Structures are given as C-alpha cells and as structure tokens.
Amino acid sequence: MGMRVGIDIGGTKTHAVAVDAAGDVLAESTRPTGRGHEQVLVSAELVVADLAGIIGVAPETFESIGVGIPGTVDVHTGYVSHAVNLGIEGLDLAVELGTRIAVPIYLDNDVNAAVLGAYRVLGHDLASLAYLNVGTGLAAGLVLNGKIHRGFGGFAGEIGHIPVEPNGLLCACGQIGCLETIASGIAIARRWPTDDSQPIRALFRAAEAGEPLAQAVRDRLADGIVDAVRILVLTTDVDAVVIGGGVMTAGRELWELLDQRFTALAASSPFLESVDLRGRVRPVPPGPSVAAIGAALLGETHPALTLPGSAHAGTAFA
Ligand SMILES: [Zn+2]
C-alpha cells in the first residue's frame, strides 16, 4: 500500500503520522519524548506501534520510517550527535531503530523535515520555500527548486549563528551577538529568566503590563525574527518563508510586532518595499505537524542510508 511513517522528535513531544502514497495523513500519534538514548528510541517505537494499531497493520508493513530530530544529523549513516535537549551526545539512531522495527529508517534534522512537510502541504505552486524555526534555537530549512538544500557541509540555513550585535551576548557557538542570542527560546531564557512553565507567554504578558525589561526583550525578539527573514530572502530569494517553532506560540501579538516592522522597513526603503518581505512570510499551515509529514517524505526523497566503509552501500537499514 506504500504507507510511510514520519516521526518528529521534539524536546518535549514526539509527533508521528502515517501517510499514504499520495502523502495524505492516515493516522497521528503524540507521546512525551523521553530523555537519553534508550528513552528516545522507546518514544519512537511507541508512536509507530500507535499508528500501526490505529490503522490495523503490523509495524513492519510500513514502507519506511523517517525521523526528524534536532541536532547534527549525518543523513548518509543515520547518526545523530549534539541533540543536547534530548540528552543525546551521539546515537546510531537509524541502526538502533531499524533493529527494533524491521523497516528502512531515514533520518534528517528537524528543520529539514519541517521545510519538506511545509512544502508538500502548501502546494507545488512554490518553487522554493524556507522554514524558519524560532524554537529553542534559531535555524532555517531550505527547499530550493523542489529539493532540500543542505550546502557543502550541511550548514545552509544556519542563520542563527550570523552575528548581528558586535557588543552582544556570547553565543554557545563561541561568537558574539549571534541572531540566536536575540531571537530564540535560549535568548529569552537568558535575557528574561522566569520560572513560568510557559516563558514566552509570560514574557508577552509582562511586556503588555508595562515591564520595561520584558518590553525590550520582546521587541528585540521581533527585530531578530525580522532580521532572520530579511537574511533568508536576500540570500536565497525564496518564494515564501514559513515561520514556526515554540516561540511563535506567542501568536497574534508577535505577528503584529512583525507586521509593524515589515511595514516600517518597506516605508523606509524602496528597495525592501520591492522585495516585499511581508508578502512572503506565512504561519505554519494548520493540521498535522508539518515536521512529521516531512519526516514521512524522507523515504521518498533521501538517498538510501549506507554504513560508512561497508559493503552495504546503496541499501537502507532494515
Ligand atoms: Zn552563534
């Protein structure tokens, strides 16, 4: 039947979808993400079992399982490293998951999965698309001419580490004043620490109530997101930029701040007016997680995984 599974492993939740050959979602499941190697694998196993149960098939019936995960991913070997929020330093995720479920496993990082899913959901009138993830960190995934663009070393879209404040905060990457130190969950935690379980909403509430520091951090956040969109559009000239991620749960109030800034930029610069930044940005499409949908599509678009230096070249893990 050609059903594929996509799993989006996030810092708190693991979302999964099963899609048919046309890419339409047949079933969904969400579970909390465990921390550490074993628990992350168990979370993935559980959502696959959920989907198989809902549809009424054995997990081995699925044609492929694609996984989107935050961290540094080797798409050829299925190895993930530096997934700090998940408690993973290095894990042979594709091999390990393929040992537990006898289905070919494909792996990519979360923003690449998200841009692929958003591109599918938004339709093919777009030649190119960026997915700007304003989450714990700040990064973008790129689809150019219908294909994921990674670049030479896999760094395409890592715009969170473009420095914009010469006297700004030290970034985890070692540079000073990166965009990620202004516009991300990490930035908000550093600049406006709170014990609130929903720090973004708490920040916007405090700013609304007139707290000067909260207003400054909130406004700088909006500035940083606008900078990120401008950098993406002026370097890639993508048709559209989808803005998603946990920080965007601030919702309408944040979008109003972005609108004000795009309008002011266009008014001050005929050049930027012609670029039409505002006309290119859009929210994440409603419905099932685009990152999970994109992960399911990895099995269609990705090269088969290969064990480094082995005779397994050209075969996916199973
Ligand atoms: Zn940095």
Give me ligand 1 centre to Cα 180, in Å.
6
Distance 48 CA to ligand 1 centre (A): 35
Centre a 10 Å sphere on the Cβ of residue 237 and count the other Cβ atoms it contains: 11
- Average pLDDT by consecutive 10-residue portion of the chain (318 residues)? 91 93 93 93 97 96 95 90 87 95 94 95 89 95 93 90 96 94 96 96 97 98 98 97 94 96 98 97 93 93 51 38
160 CA from centroid of ligand 1 (Å): 6
> Is-contact 206 199, C-beta < 8 A?
no
Ligand 1 center to 168 CA (angstroms): 11
The strand ranges marked E within 56-122 are 64-69, 72-74, 79-83, 88-91, 105-109
pTM: 0.90
CA dist list (Å): 243 to 26, 73, 111, 135, 280: 26, 22, 11, 10, 10
Cα separation, 112 vs 199, whole angstroms: 26
Among 98, 57, 52, smallest CA distance to 79 is for 98
Q: Tokens for 187?
A: 């930035």
The whole-number pLDDT of residue 309 equals 37
Q: How far is the CA of 95 from the centre of ligand 1 (A)?
A: 31
Cα atoms in the 13 Å half-sphere on the side-chain side of 112: 27
DSSP 161: G
Q: Residue 253: its pLDDT value, please? A: 96
* Ligand 1 midpoint to CA 163 (Å): 7
b (16+ CB within 10 A) / e for 182-194? bbbbbbbeebbee
78 CA to centre of ligand 1 in angstroms: 25
d(CA 123, CA 318): 31
Please state whether 71 falls in left (phi above 0), alpha (psi between -120 and 50) or beta: left
- Phi first, then psi: give them for residue 210, nearest 5 degrees: 100, 10
Instruction: Output the six-digit token pair for 206.
Output: 């405090």
Which residues does residue 242 pair with via DSSP β-bridges, in sequence order? Answer: 131, 282
Distance 181 CA to ligand 1 centre (A): 7
Q: At 85, is the secondary structure helix, strand, or coil?
A: helix
Distance from the alpha carbon of residue 162 to the mean position of ligand 1, in angstroms: 7
**CA 193/CA 196 separation, integer angstroms:** 9
Question: How far, in Å, from the CA of 187 to the mean position of ligand 1?
Answer: 11
Q: Of the candidates 250, 277, 294, which has an alpha carbon nearest to the alpha carbon of residue 135?
A: 250
97 contacts 41 by C-beta, under 8 angstroms = yes
